[in-house]
Chain A
Amino acid sequence: MRQPVVRCVEFVESVTEWTEGALSDDDRLTIEEHLVVCPHCTDYLVQLRLATEVVHEQPPEAPATATRTALLTAFRSQRDSR
């Protein structure tokens, strides 16, 4: 492969700045150029996106039952006092 300006080790550290749109135009272009020539970093990006999607599927941490009950009781009594 033709050697890109950005090395893979730099790509994996810059990828979030790239996905977050925080790079200058020049830096953005060098990252995108890297992706065009480097199938491994393309695979890395696919894994990163998949991991983010899996994280998104995580259920929230529920409160303790007693806490939840107390809050619902407070909600009911406020409602009934109106």
Chain B
Amino acid sequence: MHAGVDQTEADDTRLVAALRAGDEQAFGGLVDRYYGVMLRVARDYVATKEAAEDVVQETFLGVIQGIDRFEGRSSLRTWMFRILVNRARTRGEREGRTRPFSSFASGLDDDEPAVDPDRFVPDGRWAGFWSAPPSAEHLPDAKVLAVELGDRLTQAIETLPPAQRTVLELRDVRGFSSAEVCELLDISEANQRVLLHRARSKARAVLERYLQAGRP
């Protein structure tokens, strides 16, 4: 199974059973899949990277200790992220940090257009229509591109404002629904959409630049 694939209920049931049975590989897989994105979510609530690392570790310990009591009323990952956010929030409050999504606000401030304005007709009857349109001819397969473009895209994702990056990772890499993301990050649907829009628009621009430069 690819790491990014959506968890289904059946997967969840199997995974919970494996964790309860003490299956180390199942637990290791969970850590590998979610550690990075959990760290980023936690980072927004607490003052330092070290504090965020503590929170994520505590969360996994909480998962280990709580898995027997997990009732399956939400998905496993929603349950894990709720533990994470509760702990991060508590820790942040103890630090006297007022969060209200500092980085989430910054991700919204950046109002860069999705596409360079120079690529549209500047005035006249066709103002705002493409003058330098994108092309979808001869596009390679996503899996092929992922290999070729991997590093460049990873770098581009790393330079996104934190909030955009977190939303993109939760939605498009981890396959969370918009409702899950809004609940976990405590943001409105509209803000979530803006963050996702900016992040996806930038990912597209990276892809286009790569295709235009000519592939090896």
**Chain A residues in contact with chain B, CB under 8 A?**
3, 7-10, 12-13, 15-17, 20, 22, 38, 40-44, 46-48, 50-63, 67-68, 70-72, 74-76, 78-79, 82
Cross-chain pairs A/B with CB under 8 angstroms, 23 sampled: A7-B120, A7-B129, A8-B128, A9-B128, A16-B201, A40-B134, A43-B136, A44-B136, A46-B136, A47-B134, A48-B204, A50-B145, A54-B145, A54-B203, A55-B173, A57-B143, A58-B154, A67-B53, A72-B27, A75-B27, A78-B65, A79-B22, A82-B22
Q: Say whether B207 contacts A51, CB under 8 Å.
A: yes
Residues of A within 8 A of B24 (CB): 72, 75-76
Contact among B113, B126, B149 for A54, CB-based, below 8 A: B149
B31 interface contact, C-beta 8 A: yes
Q: Say whether A8 contacts B120, CB under 8 Å.
A: yes
User: How many residues in B have their beta carbons less than 8 Å from beta carbons of A?
Assistant: 63
Residues of A within 8 A of B208 (CB): 47
B103-145 CB mask vs A (1 if < 8 Å, else 0) is 0000000000111010010000111111001111001001101
Most buried by B among A3, A12, A55: A55
Contact among B31, B125, B142, B145 for A63, CB-based, below 8 A: B31
A33 vs chain B, min Cβ distance (A):
14
Q: Say whether A44 contacts B153, CB under 8 Å.
A: no
B150 interface contact, C-beta 8 A: yes
Q: Say whether A57 contacts B4, CB under 8 Å.
A: yes
**Chain B residues in contact with chain A, CB under 8 A?**
2-4, 22, 24, 27-28, 31-37, 53, 57, 60-61, 64-65, 113-115, 117, 120, 125-130, 133-136, 139, 142-143, 145-146, 149-150, 153-154, 157, 168, 172-175, 178, 189-190, 193, 196-197, 200-201, 203-204, 206-208
Q: Say whether B203 contacts A52, CB under 8 Å.
A: yes
Contact among B4, B31, B114 for A58, CB-based, below 8 A: B4
Q: Say whether B125 contacts A13, CB under 8 Å.
A: no
A72 to B57, CA, bound (A): 11
B33 vs chain A, min Cβ distance (A):
5
Closest residue of B by beta carbon distance from A45: B136
Q: Say whether A60 contacts B36, CB under 8 Å.
A: yes
Residues of B within 8 A of A62 (CB): 32, 35-36
Q: Say whether B36 contacts A61, CB under 8 Å.
A: yes
A67 to B37, CA, bound (A): 15
Q: Say whether A17 contacts B145, CB under 8 Å.
A: no
Q: Say whether A9 contacts B135, CB under 8 Å.
A: no
Residues of B within 8 A of A38 (CB): 129
